[in-house]
Amino acid sequence: MDGADLFLHGLTVALQPHNLGYIVVGCLLGTVVGILPGLGPSAGMALLIPIVFGMDPTSALMMIAAIYYGAMYGGSATSILLNTPGEASSVMTTLDGYQMARNGRAGAALAVSAIGSFIAGTVGIVLLSALSRPLAQFALQFGPPEYFTLMVFSMLSAASLGGRTVARGLLSMLIGLVIATVGIDLQSGMPRFTGGFPQLLDGVDFILAAVGLFALSEVFVSLEDHFRNPAQLIGIKGRLWLTREEWRRSVGPIIRGTAIGFVKGVLPGGGATVSTMLSYSLERALSKDKAKFGTGMIEGVAGPEAANNSSAAGSMVPLLALGLPGSGATAVLLGAFVILGIQPGPLLINQHPEVFWGLVNSMYVGNVVLFVMNLPLIFLFVQLLRIPTGILFPLVIAIASIGVYAVNGSVFDLYIVFGFGLLGYAFRKLDVPTAPLVLALVLGGMMEQSFRQSMTISGGDLSIFVSSGLAILFLVLSVLALAAALVVPSLLKARGGRVFVEEAADV
């Protein structure tokens, strides 16, 4: 059979009634996993593995993969409506999505997430099925030095999210980096800053920080507001759907987000979350209204939401073509393969074509299922905004606690979330932005490890970071990002041109 035959055969496999059923179930579960804060796609898939043990591998993998990309759709809902990222790659969505909801545009934010996700997901899968082999070879060029320079670039891009002053942003980021050092140090094998708690040996999961800093602190702050002057409910202004103007503004971010997400997905490290950060930073850099980011810009929702979906498709490239997962979620998927008795590797496509093509085609089907499923959900979700504060906040805390607890069954994790909630409350009162802390926590660990891996490989010679074209490229981009953040505003000021007041960007 040649390529086209195999592809069509895969489609018929994916469309068999029982497989279709598994895809729908997987999409539903994925949406739930995405919505539950704390419970991300990795944990969601891991929880399902025991259930599929002994099932037909193709069907089982279709269902588990559906949880992965389904979570990318679901994660946006709570980010937008409750300022609670449903999973890691929705952290960026909270920045402008929640503000959109507060401006009465929750429906539009949800709609653009669904549309962006669908477009990005579908484009990502087309690229996956057409180009997986050559792209996977490209991903192999990515060693520790490239990894490190990419992290530097991501970190500098994220620094632009500083908020009111650079110093406040840096403070938040540094605290994040400090927290990122907790746990067993990979290169020496020694526990660091664990205070004797075995639960901290693996470090502090940044999703715990995200749920605490975003969701709980939001609850605390709103509670205070509520007692001071009972808030009116956020209504919906204008149409529930996107306006023509909003759609026009979203097309570019969706296209760029799709591209960034897919490329980042193919490359190892950070997965979907880093791609959303890069997409958000890019949209902010390209926008004429930089200062308005963080106040409900639809570009800041459309780009990252597209990026996390195409990133999910992109991350399947090295997994399926080489058997080498580049992210936490695909590592779990690799585990699912192994547990179902299939060892993925460079020969997967030849040895198990029905698994490969069945899985790829199930993703096309799953994307359509998710899109169709999510549109009516928007109408349902926006009703959440009608729930009175007294019921909504306990609900947020309950949902967040369930999600966090489900991952490890650990009460300790709940204490950590609560601690971050208090920290987030203090941050807000002191006007320190919380996003840099979470992003530093995501990037810090990986950055340190890849730096030290590079140093071991080179024997302490820093020139390893300019030893490959890719590494140099990321370093140049880093310098440009830094220049854009520092030099451009002062140049504008010197010329007396229009200067956007950075303060307005603060949330």
Partner 1 sequence: MFIRNPLKGMSRQAMGLLAAAGVLAAFSAPAIAEGWKPEKRVEIVLGVSASEGLNRNARLILDWLVKDGTIPPSSVVVNKPGGGHALALTYTASQVGSGETIQLVNTPLITNNLLGRSPITYKDFTPIALLYDETVVFSVPSKSSIKTAQDLIDRLKQDPSSVVFSTATGLGTVQHIATLALAKGVGVDIKGGKLKTVNFSNGNAEAITAALGGRIDVVVSSPQPVLPFVQSGDLRPIAVASRERAGGFLADVPTWKEYGIDSVIYAWRAIVAPKGLTPEQIKFWDDTFAALVKTPAWEEEVKKSDLNPRYLNSADTAKFFENENKRYADIYGGLGLDVAKQQ
Q: What are the residue ranges of helices labelled H in 352-434?
A: 353-382, 389-408, 411-429
Report if residue 144 touches partner 1, rule: CB under 8 A.
yes
Q: Which of residues 450-469 bind partner 1 (CB under 8 A)?
A: 453, 456-457, 459
Q: Alpha-carbon torsion 138, 140, 142, 145, what sign?
A: negative
Q: What is the 3-state secondary structure (H, E, C) of 106-128?
A: HHHHHHHHHHHHHHHHHHHHHHH
Report if residue 184 touches partner 1, rule: CB under 8 A.
yes
For the CB of residue 335, give the shortest distance to partner 1 in the complex, in Å.
3
Kindly tell me which residue out of 104, 252, 335, 419 binds partner 1, with binding defined by CB under 8 A: 335
Q: Can you tell me the distance from the alpha carbon of 115 to that of 135, in angstroms, rounded to the nearest whole number? A: 26
Among residues 98 and 142, whose Cβ is nearest to partner 1?
A: 142
Q: Which of residues 393-452 bind partner 1 (CB under 8 A)?
A: 408-409, 449
Report if residue 271 touches partner 1, rule: CB under 8 A.
no
Among residues 47 and 368, whose Cβ is nearest to partner 1?
A: 47
Treating both helix axes as pointing N-terminal to C-terminal, what angle do 435-458 and 144-159 enclose, rounded to 10 degrees? 150
The whole-angstrom distance between residue 424's C-alpha and the CA centroid of its chain comes to 20
Task: Map residues 187-226 to x or -, x wherever contact with partner 1 holds by CB under 8 A.
Answer: xxxxx------xx-xx------------------------
For the CB of residue 89, give the shortest distance to partner 1 in the complex, in Å.
18
Kindly tell me which residue out of 14, 36, 39, 46 binds partner 1, with binding defined by CB under 8 A: 46
* Residue whose pair of structure tokens reads 């993703």 in the numeric block: 363
Kindly tell me which residue out of 53, 193, 379, 415 binds partner 1, with binding defined by CB under 8 A: 53
481 backbone dihedrals φ, ψ, rounded to 5°: -60, -40
Q: Which tokens go with 287?
A: 């926008």
Q: Can you tell me the distance from the alpha carbon of 406 to that of 416, in angstroms, rounded to the nearest whole number? A: 15
For the CB of residue 146, give the shortest distance to partner 1 in the complex, in Å.
9
Kindly tell me which residue out of 10, 30, 257, 268 binds partner 1, with binding defined by CB under 8 A: 268
Task: Map residues 222-261 to x or -, x wherever contact with partner 1 holds by CB under 8 A.
Answer: ----------------------------------------
Report if residue 12 touches partner 1, rule: CB under 8 A.
no
Q: Alpha-carbon torsion 294, 299, 305, 309, what sign?
A: negative
Q: Which tokens go with 176?
A: 């994040």
Identify which of 159, 249, 246, 263 has the alpha carbon closest to the alpha carbon of residue 486. 159
DSSP state of 202: T
Under the rule (CB under 8 A), what is the footprint of partner 1?
Answer: 45-47, 49-50, 53-54, 139-145, 184, 186-191, 198-199, 201-202, 268, 318, 322-326, 331-336, 338-339, 341, 343-348, 408-409, 449, 453, 456-457, 459
